[in-house]
């Protein structure tokens, strides 16, 4: 299976990536290789194999509903590029 | 939130809430359930995905009933699943940036998805009221839309009369009250109609409701369906809900509104419309039951709850949980009326005083000077006074104008400041005027 340039565009858009024409071509062939390689798996007969939802054999790992002290506001904001001491500020995401 | 070194763990309480809601809404509870990653980029979710459920949600295929016995309708519940909440983003006009509040990011959330069974904004409103009633009975959420403890996205499409296929739907967000949902749906229906009638096409989109202007604003067009690229969540392992667990929860479920309503009608012989008012919230229903048990007089208790108590709760916009008079004190007051200690109108004054005064009913009656006068010689004096100052009416009443009796009793009550025992006043009037009653 080959990944077309349009497929790469869609993936780039979903991942919020800007790609140059060169990159698009490069990734198109690279992604095609990856998908082709993965297609080898289709040769396996999985008729009697249960679908796997999780690689761990664990089930039912949970915790009690208990609140614990959290981080102080000053610490929360320490690494933020921009804030107003109440909220994180981000480039406008909605035209109003 | 995706803090470095932090991994999510399933909160047990949310599973219990989910199962409770699922049972109450007649769903099939999945014995095996797992989480999925829903991938999208938006500042309200810094880690770039939301942990949700996709395949194998906790509950599926249920329904709730809206409307009354005469016109009830089942609204299908597609699924109830567990997920994490995202942050909250705010977009103020005339500001170059959006604000993001991540306090609720990662907090557990129940998402309830209904079938496309709702046919009008009014039905949608009714559905929300019912949903809230059930969730509050179950103590899962206080369902306050203004505070965000219940949120609602509404999908809406229109179609020509007789057409079987649904039209293209749009999604509405940003409503902050049930009435807001109703209004937004009306506005969107109008917008879709106008678009189609002027030859336009409905574009699948997410639109924002603006409560202040009453307008719909387009937020983002959806090109085809959203591509969230769900995949099994690797950080949370699958979980099982066994039959024994479901059984325990089922057995401990509180009596739900519909059942309670039916029981109030049969057990307390209340009218259905009254039972509906009394079972609207679990708190009110429980208050009423306690009061009815204490007084042994369900009808009278119902009247107090539906009348004076509801009046106060509406005026103060408070839930019954914050009502100042506990059932045991109100029962005392009701007893004072049935014992002839005070009149009904005096009881209302005592009731109002009890809202702020916690002393005993007896002492409040004393304080307000509302103790009913049942001493016949004292009442005779008041009645004689009324007769003396209205000789003409007394004459007419004596000569058979029976309807004047009510007027006289009114005058007597006035003269006694509402304290005269009406029955004794009645007897006194007729006795003093030599009328056989």
Domains of chain B: 12-249 (no CATH), 254-368 (no CATH), 376-432 (1.10.10.410)
Judging contacts by C-beta atoms under 8 Å, the chain A residues touching residue B89 are 90, 93-94
| Encoded tokens for A44 | 């396996």
Under 8 Å between Cβ of B271 and B66: no
Distance, CA of B207 to CA of B192 (rounded, Å)? 12
Q: How far is B228 from chain A (nearest CA, A)?
A: 9
How many CA atoms are closer than 13 Å to the CA of B391, on its beta-carbon side?
Answer: 1
pLDDT in tens, B259-296: 999 999 999 999 999 999 999 999 999 999 999 999 99
pLDDT at site B157? 95
Q: Contact A58/B92, CB-based, under 8 Å? A: no
Give the nearest chain B residue to A71 (CA atoms): B103
Model confidence pLDDT, tens digit, residues B3-24:
888 899 999 999 999 999 999 9
CB < 8 Å to A56, chain B: 237
CB < 8 Å to B219, chain A: 94
Asked if B433 has any chain A CB less than 8 Å from its own CB, the reply is: no
Per-residue H/E/C for B204-268: CEEEEEECCCCEEEEEEECCCCCCCCCEECCCCCCEECCHHHHHHHHHCCCCCHHHHHHHHHHHC
Q: What is the mean pLDDT of each run of 10 residues along chain B (437 residues)?
A: 86 96 97 93 89 94 84 93 92 86 92 95 95 95 90 94 91 92 95 92 89 84 70 92 95 93 94 92 94 93 93 89 92 85 82 89 82 80 88 86 85 83 84 75
Contact residues, chain B, for A82 at CB < 8 Å = 97
User: Nearest CA to CA, how far is A61 from chain B (Å)?
Assistant: 7
Alpha carbon B347 to its chain's center: 28
User: Does residue B100 belong to the interface with chain A, where contact is any CB pair within 8 Å?
Assistant: yes
Give the residue from A58, A66, A94, A95 with the most B CB atoms within 10 Å of its CB, the best one to mutate: A94
In this complex, do A54 and B240 lie within 8 Å of one another by their Cβ atoms? no
User: Please, are residues A14 and B229 in contact by the beta-carbon 8 Å criterion?
Assistant: yes
Q: Round the average pLDDT of chain B to a whole number and report it.
A: 89
Tell me the nearest-neighbour CA distance from A25 into chain B, angstroms: 23
**What pLDDT, on the 0 to 100 scale, is given for residue B257?**
92
Of the candidates A59, A86, A89, which has its C-beta nearest B238's C-beta?
A59
Torsion, Cα B46 B49 B51 B52, to 10 degrees, reads 130
Out of A54, A88, A96, the one facing B91 most closely (by C-beta) is A96
Q: Alpha-carbon distance B9 to A65, whole Å?
A: 11
Which residues of chain B make contact with A96, given a CB cutoff of 8 A?
Answer: 91-93
Phi, psi angle pair for B137, to nearest 5°? -60, -40
pLDDT computed for residue A30 by the predictor: 93
Q: Give CA–CA dist B214/B14, Å, rounded.
A: 36
Closest CA–CA distance from residue B286 to any residue of chain A (Å): 27
For chain A, say whether B226 makes contact (Cβ under 8 Å). Answer: no
Interface of chain A against chain B, CB under 8 Å?
10, 14-16, 53-56, 58-65, 82, 84, 86-94, 96
Nearest-Cα residue of chain A relative to residue B10:
A62
Q: Is B31 on the interface with A (CB under 8 A)?
A: no
**Side-by-side strand order, sheet with B73-84:** B28-29, B59-66, B73-84, B108-114
Cβ separation of B98 and A82 shorter than 8 Å? Answer: no
- Asked if residue B156 lies in contact with residue B183, where contact means CB atoms within 8 angstroms, the answer is no
pLDDT of A95 reads 58
Please report where in the chains the tokens 């509801």 appear, as a residue: B310
Instruction: Please tell me which of the candidates B92, B100, B238 has its beta carbon nearest to residue A90.
Output: B100
Give the pLDDT score at B368: 81
- The reported pLDDT for the residue numbered A53 is 78
Q: Does B265 touch chain A (CB under 8 A)?
A: no
User: What's the pLDDT at B68?
Assistant: 64
Q: What is the pLDDT of residue B28?
A: 97
Chain B residue with CA closest to A53: the answer is B232
Chain A contact present for B47, CB below 8 A: no
Q: Report the residue from B11, B34, B43 with minimal CB separation from A53.
A: B34
Shortest alpha-carbon distance between residue A4 and chain B (Å):
18
């Amino acid at each position: 299976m080959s990944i077309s340039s349009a497929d790469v565009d869609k993936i780039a858009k979903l991942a919020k990536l800007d790609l140059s024409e060169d990159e698009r071509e490069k990734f198109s062939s690279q992604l095609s290789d990856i998908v082709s390689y993965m297609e080898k798996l289709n040769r396996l007969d999985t008729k009697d194999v249960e679908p796997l939802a999780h690689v761990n054999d664990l089930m039912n790992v949970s915790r009690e509903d208990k609140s614990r002290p959290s981080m102080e506001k000053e610490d929360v904001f320490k690494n933020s590029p921009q804030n107003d001491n109440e909220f994180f500020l981000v480039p406008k995401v909605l035209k109003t | 939130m995706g803090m470095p070194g932090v991994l999510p763990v399933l909160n047990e309480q949310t599973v219990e809430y989910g199962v409770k809601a699922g049972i109450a809404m007649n769903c099939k509870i999945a014995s095996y359930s797992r989480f999925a990653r829903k991938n999208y980029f938006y500042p309200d979710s810094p880690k770039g995905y939301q942990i949700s459920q996709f395949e194998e949600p906790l509950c599926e295929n249920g329904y709730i009933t809206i409307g009354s016995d005469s016109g009830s309708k089942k609204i299908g519940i597609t699924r109830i699943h567990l997920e994490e909440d995202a942050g909250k983003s705010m977009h103020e006009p005339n500001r170059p940036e959006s604000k993001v509040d991540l306090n609720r990011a990662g907090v557990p959330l129940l998402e309830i998805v209904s079938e496309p069974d709702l046919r009008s904004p009014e039905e949608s409103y009714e559905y929300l009221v019912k949903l809230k009633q059930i969730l509050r009975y179950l103590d899962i959420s206080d369902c306050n839309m203004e505070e965000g403890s219940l949120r609602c996205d509404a999908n809406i499409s229109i179609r020509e009369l007789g057409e079987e296929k649904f039209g293209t739907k749009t999604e509405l967000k940003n409503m902050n009250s049930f009435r807001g949902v109703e209004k937004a749906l009306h506005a969107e229906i109008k917008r879709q109609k106008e678009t189609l009638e002027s030859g336009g096409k409905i574009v699948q989109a997410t639109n924002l409701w603006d409560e202040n202007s009453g307008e719909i604003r387009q937020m983002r067009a959806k090109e085809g369906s959203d591509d969230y690229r769900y995949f099994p969540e690797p950080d949370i392992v699958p979980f099982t809900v066994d039959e024994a667990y479901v059984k325990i929860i089922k057995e401990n479920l509180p009596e739900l509104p519909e059942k309670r309503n039916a029981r109030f009608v049969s057990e307390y012989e209340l009218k259905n419309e009254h039972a509906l008012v009394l079972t609207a919230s679990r708190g009110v229903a429980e208050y009423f039951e306690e009061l009815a048990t204490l007084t042994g007089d369900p009808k009278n208790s119902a009247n107090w709850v539906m009348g004076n108590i509801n009046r106060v709760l509406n005026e103060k916009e408070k839930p019954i949980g914050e009502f100042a008079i506990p059932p045991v004190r109100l029962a005392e007051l009701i007893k004072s009326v049935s014992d002839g200690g005070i009149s009904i109108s005096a009881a209302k004054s005592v009731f109002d005083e009890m809202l702020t005064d916690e002393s005993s009913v007896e002492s409040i009656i004393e304080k307000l000077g509302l103790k009913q006068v049942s001493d016949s010689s004292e009442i005779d004096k008041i009645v004689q006074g009324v007769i003396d100052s209205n000789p003409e009416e007394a004459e007419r009443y004596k000569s058979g104008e029976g309807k004047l009796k009510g007027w006289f009793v009114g005058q007597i009550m006035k003269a006694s400041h509402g304290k005269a025992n009406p029955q004794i006043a009645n007897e006194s009037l007729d006795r003093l005027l030599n009328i056989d009653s």
